[in-house]
Amino acid sequence: MGDSNLALTQRASRVVLAHEPSFRIGDVTIEPQTRQLERDGQRVTLEPRVMQVLVALARSEGKVLTRDELVESCWGGRIVGDDAINRAIVQIRQLTSGVAAGSFTIETVARVGYRLVGANKYEGRIDAGSLLTRRGTVIAGAAAVGVIAGAGLLTQTWSDRREPEPLALQHYRRALEIRGQASRLQTEQAVSYLREATRIDPEFADAWGALAWGYRGLLEFGPRPDAARIEALSRSAAARALEIDGRNADAEAALLLLKPIYRNWLEIETGCRRLLERYPAHSITEYNLALTLSETGRWREAQPFFQAVTDREPFWPLPCRGFINALLAGNRTEEAEDVLEAALKRWPKRVDFWIIKLRYLLASGQTAEALQFADDPRNLPAENPPLVELERTLIKAMASGIAEDKQLALSRIWKAATAEPGLAQIFILATGLLGDTSSAFQMSEGFFFGTGAWSHIKAQRPNTSWLFLQQASPIRTSASFEALVREIGLHRYWQQAGLQPDYLA
């Protein structure tokens, strides 16, 4: 019994990365002190907690570690939720499709815990001196620095292994905290911070890469008369990042996604998958892969990617929004409700989650509940008051069922669509929910092709994922829907790719 307790204590002993020597699993070298994995010259830097979990599993040498043991060794015994452990396991598993492919896997033992299973025999620990001799003294010079930020990149590394200027680093970190919030104002502010970071430190590769992606993000807030200039600035920043550091994930993602996803579905999907092989768990790329899948009507296939980014990036709302929509599209209602309620607590004043809840209640026939939710002043978002009031008008018209109320709501929706064409898809879906599918398709023709009476709402970079949302059911059941997706080019894409969207499968 004493030996058993001793073994348990050793297995659950605290993982202190600064004191852990490097080791190998197969042909992958793991360096806990720098939080890096290396294989054939390819290097990946992990979050500190993820590296601790990997070290703990490797220490067990194939034996199962319970969740309690992982908490004890990696979180110091503090109370943590299952999400924290799951997030770390997900990120380690993502390595097995990239730098660590074929070297090890993480196996879940139901109701017990996890164990690391190596395709090649675990080779034990190696001393840092042999690594220093093999790879040069640069390793001793500077450890990679991790930045925790909530806006689209949880972990960034100075892949040129050079410490940035402190003031430049402050600007960079601040930019990562605010970008990715689906706000033009915040995206522009992030770009300003990143421009200042690169001015202070012109050799700061990751700031240049983030700037390239920041410019790319501005293209989403169209229509922009300066779109060509913004694209040129993005290309220039990406080129500078890659000149300093040939492996800069942000820069490569920006160059790939300067093209709109619309009508470039296969190229973007293939490119995102290729980038994820090079940069496992790169949140921007994984999010845009999920977005591409949803744009082609494959919400169910997109769901695990949205979920992975949501787990990794708890303060980035867009993946969470996609995750909720994917669950709803897959009829996983109870799970969707749980994630949505958590999102509303985390972002109580965002209009997008508020609208998702209202539209979900409407689409599921809970009109009275939708009306009650919309009328509760505690729930009202702080963003875009005209849109909030318009949504409340929609709910009241749906609740009353009176033709005059619906016509009033429609007239207000159409006026709003003219004033804010960037939100056209929201208004098209509302028109469909009110039963006027003919007008919804006329607006869609204007949105996608710039034709007809609604030509003025044509999008520079149209998205198609909203066509496959749960709330789009009134539109999809119309005979005009198949003609629309054919004209968009989705039918041809589905045939070429040999797949079917969820609604046809």
Of 406, 465, 396, the closest CA to residue 431 belongs to 406
pLDDT value of residue 442 = 97
Q: Which two tokens stand for residue 499?
A: 């797949």
Strand order in the sheet with 113-118: 65-66, 113-118, 104-109
Using CA atoms, how far apart are residues 457 and 439, in angstroms rounded to an integer? 14
Give SS3 for 290: helix
Of 257, 265, 273, 193, the closest CA to residue 220 belongs to 257
Under a CB-based contact definition with an 8 Å cutoff, are residues 439 and 447 in contact? no
What is the enclosing helix (H) or strand (E) of 269? helix 265-278
CATH of domain 2-129: 1.10.10.10
Give SS3 for 248: coil
Q: What is the full DSSP assignment across 89-155?
A: HHHHHHHTTTTTTTTEEEEEETTTEEEEEESS-EEEE--HHHHHHHH-THHHH--------SSS-S-
pLDDT value of residue 387 = 95
What is the number of other CB atoms lying within 10 angstroms of the CB of residue 344?
18
Give SS3 for 41: coil
- Between helix 385-400 and helix 351-363 the angle, nearest 10°, is 10
What is the enclosing helix (H) or strand (E) of 39? strand 36-39
Examine domains 2-129 and 148-258 and report if their fold is the same.
Answer: no
DSSP label of 249:
H
Task: Give me the phi and psi of 390, to 5 degrees please.
Answer: -65, -40
Using CA atoms, how far apart are residues 301 and 299, in angstroms rounded to an integer? 5
Q: Which two tokens stand for residue 59?
A: 């220490």
Of 365, 396, 392, the closest CA to residue 379 belongs to 392
Using CA atoms, how far apart are residues 284 and 278, in angstroms rounded to an integer? 13
Rounding to the nearest 10 degrees, give the CA dihedral for residues 11, 13, 19, 22.
20
pLDDT values of the chain reduced to their tens digit, one per residue, 505 residues:
444 444 444 456 888 888 888 888 888 899 998 888 988 888 888 888 899 999 999 988 888 999 889 998 998 877 777 778 888 898 888 887 778 888 888 888 877 889 998 755 445 554 433 333 333 322 222 222 222 223 334 344 444 447 899 999 999 999 999 988 889 999 999 999 999 999 999 999 999 999 999 999 999 987 889 999 999 999 999 999 999 999 999 999 999 999 999 999 999 999 999 999 999 989 999 999 999 999 999 999 999 999 999 999 999 999 999 999 999 999 999 999 999 999 999 999 999 999 999 999 988 889 999 999 999 999 999 989 999 999 999 999 999 999 999 999 999 999 999 999 989 999 999 999 999 999 999 999 999 999 999 999 999 999 999 999 999 999 999 999 999 999 999 999 999 999 999 999 8
Using CA atoms, how far apart are residues 400 and 361, in angstroms rounded to an integer? 15
Candidate CATH numbers 3.30.360.10, 3.40.50.1100, 3.30.420.280, 1.25.40.10; the one for domain 148-258: 1.25.40.10
Q: Which residues contact 233 (CB under 8 A, 6 or more apart)?
A: 215
Using CA atoms, how far apart are residues 202 and 188, in angstroms rounded to an integer? 20
Using CA atoms, how far apart are residues 414 and 412, in angstroms rounded to an integer? 5
Under a CB-based contact definition with an 8 Å cutoff, are residues 433 and 362 in contact? yes
Q: Which two tokens stand for residue 236?
A: 């220039």
Of 264, 269, 303, 270, the closest CA to residue 461 belongs to 264
What is the number of other CB atoms lying within 10 angstroms of the CB of residue 216?
25
Q: What's the angle, vertex CA 462, arms to CA 207 and CA 413, rounded to 5?
A: 115
Going from N- to C-terminal start, the domains of the chain cover 2-129, 148-258, 348-463
DSSP-assigned beta bridge partners for residue 104: 118
Using CA atoms, how far apart are residues 286 and 283, in angstroms rounded to an integer? 5
Rounded alpha-carbon distances, angstroms, from residue 63 to 12, 26, 31, 223, 252: 12, 17, 21, 57, 39
pTM higher than the cut 0.85: no
Rounded alpha-carbon distances, angstroms, from residue 133 to 18, 160, 439: 20, 20, 71
For the chain, the first-to-last Cα distance in angstroms comes to: 56
pLDDT value of residue 154 = 37
Using CA atoms, how far apart are residues 496 and 239, in angstroms rounded to an integer? 33
Using CA atoms, how far apart are residues 314 and 151, in angstroms rounded to an integer? 9
pLDDT value of residue 119 = 54
Using CA atoms, how far apart are residues 490 and 470, in angstroms rounded to an integer? 19
pLDDT value of residue 129 = 37
Of 57, 58, 48, 61, the closest CA to residue 17 belongs to 48
